Structure 1
Amino acid sequence: MDYDKMPRRSIMCVDMRCFYASCMASLAHLDVMNEAIAVVGNLQQKGSVVLAASPIMKKRFQVKTGTRLYEIPNHPDIHLFEPKMEFFVSMSMEITKLLNSYVPKEAIHVYSIDESFVDLTGTEKLWGDPEETARKIQDEIFRQFEIPNTVGMGPNMLLAKLALDIEAKKTKEGFAKWDYEDVKEKLWPLSPLSEMWGIGRQTEQSLNGIGIFSVGDLANADLTTLESRFGVMGNQLYHHAWGIDLSKVGEAPLIEGQVSYGKGQMLMRDYNTKKEVLAVLLEMCEDVARRAREAYKIGRTITLGIAYSKNSFGGGFQRSRTIDEPTNDTMMIYQVCQQILNENYNERPVRHISVSITKLESEHSMQLSLFDTKRFQRRKLGATMDQLRSHYGSTSILRAVSYTDAGTAIKRSALIGGHKK
């Protein structure tokens, strides 16, 4: 691979360690690195899950993200907190403001609430060597916000992220810098493939099926074979294995854009009847459809996932159905989900529901139908409802099911990210 033609920028990827736990530790004047801290969704519900845990909590008490409240030992050294989502968002915004004091907004890509990319290229005359600037930013975040953080640097967004995930998070100083010349030594041995950013379990299994088990295997695979098997994604996977990424901070995302619209919801109690499940299901279909409409996308494959309560021995199902004509119509998505539910539901208490639409395409490809003359009327009605919610709030216009005991939309409107503000 000829790296001489590849861009060599100074990109840093900064990640806040145990962000939720660190934020709560700062409020309580605790040291997140030396205290056993866990942030739990709801301290009043024994089945509530841990959203974040400090390193000591993980190491000493084996409590990590996803652990249930009832599984946490009753120990005087353990500090439990409920999330303060408004505070977390505010803290994230303040950290972004700090980054903005070093570079313009266009040079910052906020990847998530606790992780950002920053392009330090061209700041040499202002701040000096970019690596030293990155270390200075790292120290300043800790001094100003008491949030421990790790930093990866690279000539592009991909290598900065890989340096962060694969090396920086494992070092005492929390810093690592990679260049193209490090790819063969540091990236290629990586296995399983799902350890690499951008490769999920399903893609990993598909690659394993053709004899590719490490990033080195992927880099040395036949590009034509990868493209014929995975399409454009195969080309992307091949070049990522060589550390090549041409996306720019503030422009295209590193991994290909939205491939689905979905929503998952852990119910506040066991839902014991199909009628109750359908009430929440309709609310969720409305939300998924709204997001697709706002992006002017329609989807052809609809997936419903149901997880039964642990009180009835758990389990569940996830089924997909591909329809003839793609849609972003709430009731069409709901009708398909209803069919899937009718075929697979076994009358057991439900605790988690998920809905998604995939196989997306532009809404402009939507065709007129001789058999469905009201399609565009429904689309216009949906857009009007979306605009009302956007302007007056998510509860300004609701379906009747939201006012029943089973509805969750009203209660969840008072939450941020599904948790208390």
Structure 2
Amino acid sequence: MVDYRSLPQGQILCIDMKSFYASCTAVMLGLDPLNCYLVIAGNHERKGSVVLAASPKVKKEFGIKTGSRLFEVPNDPRIRIEEPKMATYLRVSTEITRVFNRYVPKEDIHTYSVDESFLKVDSVLHLWGDAITIAEKIKDDIEREFQLPSAIGIGPNMLMAKLCLDLEAKGKGIAEWTYDDVQTKLWNVSPLREMWGIGRQVEKTLNSMGIFSVGQLARYDLKKLEKKFGIMGNQLYFHAWGVDLSEIGAPIMEGQISFGKGQILLRDYKEEHEIKNVILEMCEEVTRRARAHRKTARTISFGVSYSKDELGGGFYRSKTIERPTNITMDVYHVCLELFQQFYEGKTVRKITMSLSNIEDDHELQLSLFDLDEWRRKKLGYTMDGIRKRFGSAALLRAVSYTEAGTARHRAKLVGGHKM
């Protein structure tokens, strides 16, 4: 049992903009976001294009959602397919954050993603009323000023607010959970992947341990979970009890921090040298993100997905190295090693990679076997500085100017899509 009396008793709002991309586009087209039939997809000419957003009507009536493919969208005259306007979405997201700032100071706002934010309202209850009242005011302001629908979950911590949003508020508009709701509302959740923070792979592992609901997870032996999952096992256990000690802005799931990128290629890649060119470009981008946060990584994961002409398939493998790195060529050589070991010579359509097992990049331990490491690290940061000042396309590797390169094309996009 958990003694909730000793835990934070905050008032946290988790605000989600419903079908944000689709809703923004609907408003721009003069449509009702909740009652129109709208799909946002990047490239209409490719039937395999990913659906970035779908309006609530399309989700409910046709089962089309984010991540679906364009060929899955039924040929219904009511459905309108539009390209994304990423720059516009980002501007609207910024303006919505200004609405939040009317009610709480900036330090009490955590932008979780372009369409989801956390607000800590403890310090302003005497100004605006209780958390439900504040949520209603914010929801009304957004709807009045932007004509956009939203949902708000309220909880005593970030985790509970997020769970309340996903499991109840998205259906009701506004909902509030307290610690008293853990056993009656959270423990009934099944399948486990419906709980935030549990993906299919973790769910599969938990199922193999005889755990199929959040309640079963909460009553499972903590030591066995920690032995199986490490620190994440501890967090899974206490999250099942609604316990979250993280502050606003901190990651709710420690140990899940990583830097990754997945790229669906514009065409099928058959030649190995072309595939390697794209791998190098992606290594450059992923390591640049790590350097921007002054982080290094010990574990490098890499995978490819084969074309549908090859009947799909692929691989995804990881390797942990002795010395953590954020140097592009170090990561590239590990990815090449995994590529050479597991690649089956088939046509490639998607490449994925990530850096995990993250450490701070505050110091460098020199190696007698690699005296130039510090120069390569410094070169990476110098190149990043040039790109930050003059744009991401200001300094590119030669492979980006080959027919296989994708960096020049992607530099013209926002969030991987047209502005």
TM-score range relative to shorter protein: over 0.9
Distance in 1 of aligned mates of 2:74 and 2:85: 23
Distance in 1 of aligned mates of 2:38 and 2:295: 42
Q: Which residue of 2 aligns with 1:389?
A: 387
Distance 1:224 1:307, change over 3 A: closer
Q: Measure how far apart 1:366 and its partner are.
A: 4.3
Question: Which of 157-166 and 360-369 deviates more?
Answer: 360-369
Distance in 2 of aligned mates of 1:259 and 1:124: 33
Distance in 2 of aligned mates of 1:149 and 1:257: 30
Task: Describe the SS at the equivalent of 2:164.
Answer: helix
**Residues 365-413 of structure 1: CA deviation (Å, up to 9, x unaligned):** 6432221111111111111111111122111111100111111111101
> Does the Cα contact within 8 Å between 1:35 and 1:56 map onto a contact in 2?
yes
> Does the Cα contact within 8 Å between 1:326 and 1:366 map onto a contact in 2?
no
Question: Which of 192-201 and 386-395 deviates more?
Answer: 192-201
**TM-score, with length taken from structure 2:** 0.94
Distance 1:393 1:370, change over 3 A: same
Distance in 2 of aligned mates of 1:168 and 1:105: 24
> Does the Cα contact within 8 Å between 2:153 and 2:169 map onto a contact in 1?
yes
AA partner of residue 184 (structure 1): Q
Question: Which of 126-135 and 57-66 deviates more?
Answer: 57-66
Distance in 2 of aligned mates of 1:235 and 1:289: 30
Distance 1:301 1:32, change over 3 A: same
**Residues 16-37 of structure 1: CA deviation (Å, up to 9, x unaligned):** 1111110000000111221211
> Does the Cα contact within 8 Å between 2:38 and 2:81 map onto a contact in 1?
yes
Q: Which residue of 1 aligns with 2:117?
A: 116
**Residues 109-143 of structure 1: CA deviation (Å, up to 9, x unaligned):** 11111111111213233212221121121122112
Distance in 1 of aligned mates of 2:390 and 2:146: 34
Q: Which residue of 1 aligns with 2:294?
A: 296
Distance in 2 of aligned mates of 1:201 and 1:404: 38
> Does the Cα contact within 8 Å between 2:287 and 2:326 map onto a contact in 1?
yes
Q: Which residue of 2 aligns with 1:224?
A: 223
Q: Which residue of 1 aligns with 2:278?
A: 280
Q: Measure how far apart 1:156 and its partner are.
A: 1.3
Distance in 2 of aligned mates of 1:66 and 1:259: 22
Distance in 2 of aligned mates of 1:56 and 1:36: 6
> Does the Cα contact within 8 Å between 2:159 and 2:242 map onto a contact in 1?
yes
Distance in 1 of aligned mates of 2:220 and 2:322: 36
RMSD: 1.8
Q: Which residue of 2 aligns with 1:313?
A: 311
Distance 1:392 1:130, change over 3 A: same
Question: Which of 323-332 and 20-29 deviates more?
Answer: 323-332
Give runs of aligned pairs for residues 366-405 of structure 1, distance below 5 A: 366-405=364-403
Question: Which of 138-147 and 124-133 deviates more?
Answer: 124-133
Question: Which of 46-55 and 108-117 deviates more?
Answer: 46-55
Task: Describe the SS at the equivalent of 1:420.
Answer: coil
**TM-score, with length taken from structure 1:** 0.94
Distance in 2 of aligned mates of 1:245 and 1:109: 16
AA partner of residue 158 (structure 1): L
Q: Which residue of 1 aligns with 2:248?
A: 249
**Residues 39-77 of structure 1: CA deviation (Å, up to 9, x unaligned):** 011123232121111122123334332333233333321
Distance 1:311 1:59, change over 3 A: same
Distance in 2 of aligned mates of 1:128 and 1:372: 61
Question: Which of 254-263 and 301-310 deviates more?
Answer: 254-263
Task: Describe the SS at the equivalent of 2:267.
Answer: strand
| Structure 2 residues without counterparts, runs of 5 or longer | none
Q: Measure how far apart 1:7 and its partner are.
A: 2.0
Q: Which residue of 2 aligns with 1:94?
A: 95
Task: Describe the SS at the equivalent of 1:360.
Answer: strand
Q: Measure how far apart 1:327 and its partner are.
A: 2.0
Distance in 1 of aligned mates of 2:203 and 2:345: 35
Distance in 2 of aligned mates of 1:335 and 1:110: 35
> Does the Cα contact within 8 Å between 2:151 and 2:165 map onto a contact in 1?
yes
Q: 1:412 aligns with which of 410, 413, 419?
A: 410
> Does the Cα contact within 8 Å between 2:299 and 2:357 map onto a contact in 1?
yes
Give runs of aligned pairs for residues 39-188 of structure 1, distance below 5 A: 39-171=40-172, 174-188=173-187
> Does the Cα contact within 8 Å between 1:303 and 1:355 map onto a contact in 2?
yes
Task: Describe the SS at the equivalent of 1:415.
Answer: coil
Distance 1:285 1:72, change over 3 A: same
Distance in 2 of aligned mates of 1:63 and 1:211: 32
Distance 1:386 1:100, change over 3 A: same
Task: Describe the SS at the equivalent of 1:101.
Answer: helix
AA partner of residue 412 (structure 1): R
Task: Describe the SS at the equivalent of 1:253.
Answer: coil
Q: Measure how far apart 1:186 and its partner are.
A: 0.5
**Aligned residues with identical type, % of pairs:** 55
Distance in 1 of aligned mates of 2:73 and 2:226: 47
- Asked if 1:328 is matched to 2:329, the reply is no
AA partner of residue 389 (structure 2): H
Distance in 2 of aligned mates of 1:42 and 1:115: 25
AA partner of residue 79 (structure 1): R
Distance 1:77 1:318, change over 3 A: same
Q: Measure how far apart 1:265 and its partner are.
A: 0.6
Q: Which residue of 2 aligns with 1:12?
A: 13
Distance in 2 of aligned mates of 1:238 and 1:69: 39
> Does the Cα contact within 8 Å between 2:151 and 2:169 map onto a contact in 1?
yes
